[in-house]
Structure 1
Amino acid sequence: MIEIIEGIYKGRSEGKILVSINGVVFGIITDAESFSEFNEGDKILVYTKLIVSQEDMTIYGFDSKVKKETFEKLIKVSKLGPKTAIKILSSTTVDFLSNAIATGDVEKLSSIPGIGRKTAERMITELKDEFEVVEVNEEMLEAIEALVSLGYSKTQARNAVSKVLKESPNISNVSKIIKEALKILAKI
């Protein structure tokens, strides 16, 4: 099993990131947001899941352990394969997914591209005990959405807003959160 790959980021190609380790370049399938802020030549750490089928060995990669664990839970659902799981993780956040499954919200789940009502119901039935409701900070979500609308990736926006809220947990004004996050993003 390959748990983590650490190497040099070589770019993105057709839904994969390319990671070089001692001259060998691995193509690792990932969701749309993971690693979007990296530049070629950056050192990168990828949480991975190796899936072996009759035709192929495929490495799926994630920018966080939580996202990897969520992927592993999703692929346990009958008739939901790794490609669909990656599509789900590309379309939503782990918190949104966790809350929708934990609360049994079929409508929220079926609003995710590629997830119909039957798949949403199956996900809830098979995964309800594996997910918990996550406390969601509405100001944080609003600030992230605003930064994404300004052209930043979800990952960049989420990281910047999280950093702002860690440094100043008492900020509750969305515009102040955005202003501070923009200062952080300007340094990148």
Structure 2
Amino acid sequence: MIAFLRGELVAVQRGDRSSVTLNVNGVGYRLMVPQRLLQQMPAIGDTVQVFTHLAVRETEMVLYGFESSAERDLFTELIKVSGVGPALGVALLNTLNLEELVRAVVTENVRMLSLTPGVGKKTAQRLVLELKTRLSTWRQEADVPVAAAGGPPSSIYGEVEMALLALGYSPSQAVKALQAVGQQQGDRLGQSVEDWLRTAIAYLSQESV
């Protein structure tokens, strides 16, 4: 297995099939990558290191590239799930970052997983069923957080988070707001979804000013 490649960035392709091409000791490697990785790419001609997974199909071999070994390992776990191929694995990582995706599986947040195009309720439930135990152990070993410290109680976390997403906030914004609000006012807000939601929106409104 090719664990990673380090070489000169010679091409970047954006769009539905985003990819980068690296020149490694005179050999050009094209890697299919999540779109969010393109935002981390240096200028053409600079040296970059990308962690890789080689997918072998009947008619071709495809290299997939990731920002970190943890993201690569999560992708490997995703594509072990029945009905989840490499394309859908990349789509999941395009929609949710590593921490958000692991948290959604471990906390059984089917609605969060279903935000990914192509992932319906049944696929999301299968991801939870097949990965929850494995990812609970893996994220501890890889030191991947799954909950915002000081956020809402686990019994209402998913409901508050999904309400923020329905209002148009990104997963990252929702997590940041809930963490900040929890640290500042968590004891006062208790189990009230409405209070958590209202306070989180107020926090995000101040952040945008």
Report the counterpart of residue 24 of structure 2 in structure 1: 21
Query: Alpha-carbon deviations, 1:120-156, whole Å to 9, x = none?
Result: 0000010011223613367xxxxxxxxxx9xxxx9xx
Q: 1:43 and 1:136 mapped to 2: Cα distance?
A: 34
Answer with 124-133 or 19-28: which moved more. 124-133
The 5 A counterparts of 1:10-89 are: 10-13=10-13, 14-37=17-40, 38-89=42-93
8 Å CA contact 2:9, 2:46 repeated in 1: yes
8 Å CA contact 1:12, 1:18 repeated in 2: yes
Aligned partner letter, 1:31: P
The 5 A counterparts of 1:1-188 are: 1-13=1-13, 14-37=17-40, 38-132=42-136, 134-136=146-148
8 Å CA contact 1:99, 1:131 repeated in 2: no
Gaps of 5+ in 1: 139-148, 162-172, 179-188
8 Å CA contact 2:31, 2:63 repeated in 1: yes
Q: 1:89 and 1:53 mapped to 2: Cα distance?
A: 21
* TM-score, normalization by structure 1: 0.70
CA shift, 1:73, in A, is 0.6
CA shift, 1:26, in A, is 0.8
8 Å CA contact 2:106, 2:146 repeated in 1: no
Number of residue equivalences: 149
Report the counterpart of residue 163 of structure 2 in structure 1: none
CA shift, 1:174, in A, is 8.4
CA shift, 1:96, in A, is 1.1
Higher relative contact order structure (alpha carbons within 8 Å, sequence separation ≥ 6):
1
| SS at structure 1 position matched to 2:118 | coil
Aligned partner letter, 2:130: E
CA RMSD of aligned residues (A): 2.8
Identity, in percent, stands at 30
* TM-score, normalization by structure 2: 0.64
Q: 2:124 and 2:147 mapped to 1: Cα distance?
A: 22
Answer with 28-37 or 54-63: which moved more. 28-37
CA shift, 1:86, in A, is 0.6
8 Å CA contact 2:34, 2:94 repeated in 1: yes
Report the counterpart of residue 160 of structure 2 in structure 1: none
| Greater helix content | 2
Aligned partner letter, 1:134: V
Structure showing greater radius of gyration is 2
Answer with 33-42 or 80-89: which moved more. 33-42
Q: 1:33 and 1:2 mapped to 2: Cα distance?
A: 22
8 Å CA contact 2:91, 2:116 repeated in 1: no
Aligned partner letter, 1:68: R
Report the counterpart of residue 140 of structure 2 in structure 1: none
